[in-house]
Amino acid sequence: MTESFLVENRLGYRILRWVLLTALVAGIMLSAMQVIFDAQRVSEELNQNARQTLALVRDAATQAVYSIDEDLARQVVDGLFKQAAVRFASIRHPDGTILAERTRPLETASYRSITDVIFKPERTYSVPLIKNDPQPVTYGTLEIRLDTVHTARLWLERATLTLLSGIARALILGLALYLVYHWLLNRPLMRIIESVAAVDPENPGEHLLKTPEGHQGDELDIWVKGTNNLLRSIADSQKKQWAAEARITRLSRYDHLTGLPNRAMLLSLLTSALDDSRRREHVVAIYCCGLDDFKGINDQYGYRAGDRLLQSIADRLAIEHNDVALVAARLSGDQFVIVEQRLKDGYQAAATAEWLLREISRATLIGDREVSTTATIGISLFPGDAHQADKLLQQAEQTMTLAKAGGRNRFQFYVASIDREIRERKQLERDLSKALSGNQFHLVYQPQINLEMRRVIGAEALIRWQHPERGLIPPDQFIPLAELNHSIIEIGNWVLDQACQQAAAWCEKGMPIRIAVNLSAVQLRQDDIVERVLEVLKRHSLPPNRLELEVTETSFMESLDEAVDKLTKLRNEGIQIAVDDFGTGYSSLTYLKRLPVQHLKIDKQFIHDLLVNDDDTRIANTIIDLGKSLNLDVVAEGVETEEQEVYLRTRGCMLAQGYLFSKPLTPDVFETFVSEFHRSFDKTELPG
C-alpha cells in the first residue's frame, strides 16, 4: 500500500481525530466553567444557610446570655449540633467567658485535599447577641464553625456528573459531525479518487471522472467537470504531440513522395531482417532497381507525371510476393531497393528479379496517357556476398550501375560466377518450358532382372531431354528445375502416358513387362493423381499390375497421411508401389509399415561401393534383411559388376537393375535386349 493510503494519512481519519479532540477540549472547558460556577453558587449557599441557622437560634442564645442560663445555652448549642455540618458552637459573654461550647473533629474524606482548597476546611460565622432594653446592649456572641465536607461532597458529585456528561455530549456531537462530513464529503471524494486512479496516463481522454451520485451541481460536480475538461485537453494535446512526433519520424525515416522507407530506415530494417535470417538460415536478396532513363520521362511528360509514375511503382513494389512481405525503399530519385527474406537460394531471387522487372515495366495511366519505364536490377545475396546491411546495399547498388553499362531491363548478381550459373539455370528453365511442345523428350527403358530366373521382369522408364543446342541433358539437372516450377506435373503426365503406351504395346507383342515410372513428390501431392493414373491405364488398356510407381521417401514425409491414402487407393487398384533410392532419406520403419509398398530399391550409391566400403555393404545388407522381414521384394539399383551380382544373390536380393545387364535403352533396342538376354540364358541352361 502506498504512503498516501496509510490509514493515519487519510483525510477522514485526520478530521475525525481533530473533531474529537476539539469536541473533547470544548466539552471539558464548558463543563469546567459550569463546575466553577457551581462551586461559587454552593459556597454562597453555605454562607446563606449558616446565616439562617444563626438567625434561627439567635433569640434563644440572647435569652441564655441575658439570663446567664447555662442550660438554655447548652440546649441551643446541642440544637445546633443536630446539623451534621456544625462542628463547633459557642455562646460567650463579651469578656470571653464561655457560657456553652461544643466541638467535634473535622470529618475525614479522600477528596478533602481538593475541596478544602476550594471551600476551605471549615467556615466560621458569628453574631452579636443584642437586647434592646430599651437601648441596644450586647450581652454576648454566638459563634459556629461549619465543616465544608458535606456541601463539598454534593458539589463534587454534581461536578463529576457535569464533567462526564459534558465530555460525552461533546464526543457524540463530534462523531455526528464527522459522520455528516464523511457522508457529504469523504465518501464522494473517495469515489472521485477511484475515478482518478482509473485514468490512463497514456490515454487520459478515454476514462473521464464521474460525479458521485447526489452531487450534481455542487462544488464536487464543478470540480469533476473542471478536471474532465483538463483531461480532455491533455488527451488532445497528447494526440497532437504524437501526431507531430509521428510526422517528424516519418519525415526522417520515409520518403515523402512515395511513403517508402528511406536509406536510413532501410538499413535498420535490413539489419533486423539479416538477424532473423541468420537464425533461420535463410537467404536474403537485396535488389537495387535503377529506373532506365527516368530523366527522359521527366523531360517528355513533365515532373508531375514523373512523380506519379514513381508513386505507382512504389505501390506495386511494397506488397507480398510468394507469401512474404517485401521491404521496399526509395534511395534516391529513380532508385528503389527491395529486400526479400526466406529464400532458399539465389535461384529463387532470380525469379523475383524477373517479377520485379515485369512489375516495374507495367504501364501507368497518367491523365490520358500510358507511361512506362524499365529498370535494371543489381542483386546481392546474404549470407553469400556479405554479412552487413550497408555492405550488401553497397554491393547491390554497384552491381546495378555495372549492369546498366551492359544493357537495360535486366538483372545481374553481385558475384559473377553465381550470376552466370543462375542465368544458365534460368535459360534452362525457359528452354524446359518449350521442351515438351518441341518434342524434345523421349523415354528410355532400363531392364529389371530377376537374378534367380535370369528373366527380364520389368523396365524402369527414364526420361531423356535432347536439347536442340546443348545435346542430351541428364534428368538430374532438369527434373529438380521442373519440380521447382511445377512443370514436372505436365512432364510427369507425359512420361506416364508414354510408358503405359509402351507397356501396352509390349503386352500385345507377347512381352509381359512391368513398367516402373518415377513419380515426383510434386505429382504425388496433386489432389487428382489417383484418377489421373487410372485414367491413363484405362486409355491404354494396360492391366494395373503392369504398372509400378516409384516414389522417394521425401515425397511422403511432408504429409504421410495424405500419401498413405493416395498410394493405398492406387494399390487397391492393383498398381505396384516401390520406394526409390531407399537408404538415402529417413528410412523409417514407421512409414514403411503404413505404406502399401511391394518393392524397396536400394540406392545405387550403396551398391556402387558394395564389397569395397564396409558401411555401404552393411547398409545394403540391412535393407535386404528389412525387406525380408517386412515381406517386401528388394531391388538393387546400379549393379555394375559380377561380384556385386553374386553377392546380392547369395544375400537373397533377387531383383537387380544396372549397367551390368544394360544401360537404359530405347524401346526397339530394349526388345532386342530382352530376347537376346533370355536366349543366352536358355542356351546356358540347356547345354546340348
> Where on the chain is the footprint of ligand C2E (CB under 6 A)?
446, 462-463, 474-476, 479, 492, 495, 518, 520, 550, 580-581, 604, 637-640, 657-659, 664
Cα distances (Å, whole numbers) of residue 299 to 293, 296, 302, 685: 10, 5, 6, 90
Please report how close the Cβ of residue 645 comes to ligand C2E at its closest, in angstroms. Answer: 11
CB of 685 to Mg ion, least distance (A): 30
Nearest distance, CB of residue 440 and Mg ion, angstroms: 21
Closer residue to Mg ion, CB minimum distance, 140 or 638: 638
**CA distances (Å), 12 to each of 16, 179, 188, 289, 681, in order?**
6, 10, 12, 73, 115
Which of 133-141, 178-186, 324-332, 635-643 is the region at the interface with Mg ion (rule: CB under 5 A)?
635-643
Angstrom distance (rounded) from CA 9 to CA 251? 50
Q: Which is nearer to Mg ion, 445 or 591 (CB)?
A: 445
Q: In what order do the strands lie in the sheet with 335-343?
A: 327-332, 335-343, 283-291, 375-382, 411-413
Find the part of the chain contacting Mg ion (CB under 5 A) among 69-77, 182-190, 504-512, 579-587. Answer: 579-587
Residue 548 Cβ, how far from ligand C2E at the closest point, in Å? 12
Sites for Mg ion among residues 516-575 (CB under 5 A): 518, 550
CB neighbour class for 303 (10 Å; exposed up to 12, middle 13-18, buried from 19): exposed
Pairing of strands 455-467, 514-518: parallel
The DSSP output letter for 254 is B
533 binds, among Mg ion, ligand C2E, none (CB under 5 to 8 A by kind): none
Choose from Mg ion, ligand C2E, none: what does 260 bind? Cβ within 5-8 Å by kind: none
At closest approach, how far in Å is the CB of 462 from ligand C2E?
4
Minimum CB–partner distance for residue 659 and ligand C2E (Å): 4
Amino acid at 663: K
Which of 364, 487 has the CB closer to ligand C2E? 487
Residue 328 contact, options ligand C2E, Mg ion, none, Cβ 5-8 Å cut-off depending on partner type = none
What does the alpha-carbon distance between residue 125 and residue 269 come to, in Å, rounded to a whole number? 114
**Run of H or E including 21:** helix 11-66
CB 271 within 8 A of CB 261: no
Among Mg ion, ligand C2E, none, the one that 101 touches (CB under a kind-dependent 5 to 8 A) is none
Are 86 and 142 in contact by the 8 Å Cβ rule? The answer is no
Q: Measured from the CB atom, is 397 or 580 closer to Mg ion? A: 580
In angstroms, the CA 385 to CA 398 distance is 13
Angstrom distance (rounded) from CA 495 to CA 664: 15
Q: Is residue 269 within 8 Å of residue 332, measured between CB atoms?
A: no
- Residue closer to ligand C2E by CB (options 465, 591) is 465
Instruction: Give 302 or 474: the residue with its C-beta nearer to ligand C2E.
Output: 474
- What is the residue whose three cell numbers read 518450358? 433
Neighbouring CB atoms inside 10 A of 393's CB total 22
The strand pairing partners of 129, in sequence order, are 140
Pick the closer one to ligand C2E by CB: 413 or 441: 441
Q: Which is nearer to ligand C2E, 292 or 580 (CB)?
A: 580
Smallest gap from Cβ 500 to ligand C2E, in A, equals 12
Residue 211 touches which of Mg ion, ligand C2E, none (CB < 5 to 8 A by kind)?
none
- Integer angstrom CA distances of residue 542 from 504, 512, 677: 5, 11, 25
Q: Which residues bind Mg ion (CB under 5 A)?
A: 518, 550, 580-581, 637
